[in-house]
Chains A and B, each alone.
Chain A
Amino acid sequence: GNSVTQMEGPVTLSEEAFLTINCTYTATGYPSLFWYVQYPGEGLQLLLKATKADDKGSNKGFEATYRKETTSFHLEKGSVQVSDSAVYFCALDGGATNKLIFGTGTLLAVQP
């Protein structure tokens, strides 16, 4: 069945460092891919998405490219800020109902 695997955390970085959070997926068909973010004490928010191969999703300085050949959707940001500290979830939508299938989440801690 469909599944998402993302790198385990926590990831601890200094402010202005480069961020990569790896995400790979297994799916039948051509799912859309998503990154959601969960800030402390808040609900899930969509960060970015890509709906087909080679699409690049971007938002707030974060980027991820839908790579069908490597079944990956890695999240990157060139210069992280303390305010980026949160849990990041990679997800895909599966089936006729478009239910989301999430990875386990990666905690990012950015230190000043």
Chain B
Amino acid sequence: DTGVSQNPRHKITKRGQNVTFRCDPISEHNRLYWYRQTLGQGPEFLTYFQNEAQLEKSRLLSDRFSAERPKGSFSTLEIQRTEQGDSAMYLCASAREVGFLGPQETQYFGPGTRLLVL
């Protein structure tokens, strides 16, 4: 069990550029979540995948944001035309579902990708 990994760990970009982050969940975890954490705040939910299907998106996820999870393994989060307000820590978490409609196990978080938009 190598844990959830995220790449890159840090990203500095200029306003208007596109960025893409990657999350590799714990193997066999079929649930994957993206959260965003700004300074001094708790993480806020962005989107959720069950296997390869994106089942929920937050209103925080504007049209400039897109996430994918091809083949239900790793996931990518892309931000197009970045704005300074996108500067934040982007967290990925994964969990294993225990049975149909059953409770999930603990969400395990990656170290995050810190984005700074200049």
Contact = CB atoms under 8 A, between A and B. Distances in A.
Answer yes or no: do A and B interact: yes
Interface in A24-52: 32, 36, 42-46, 49, 51
B109 A103 contact: no
By DSSP majority rule, is chain B's interface helix, strand, loop, or mixed? strand
Interface string B13-33: 000000000000000000101
By DSSP majority rule, is chain A's interface helix, strand, loop, or mixed? strand
Q: Interface size bucket, A side?
A: 20 to 34
Interface of A: 4, 32, 36, 42-46, 49, 51, 89, 91, 93, 95, 97-105
19 contacts: A32-B103, A36-B109, A43-B109, A43-B110, A43-B112, A44-B43, A44-B93, A45-B109, A89-B43, A97-B50, A98-B31, A98-B103, A98-B104, A99-B56, A100-B43, A100-B93, A102-B43, A102-B44, A103-B42
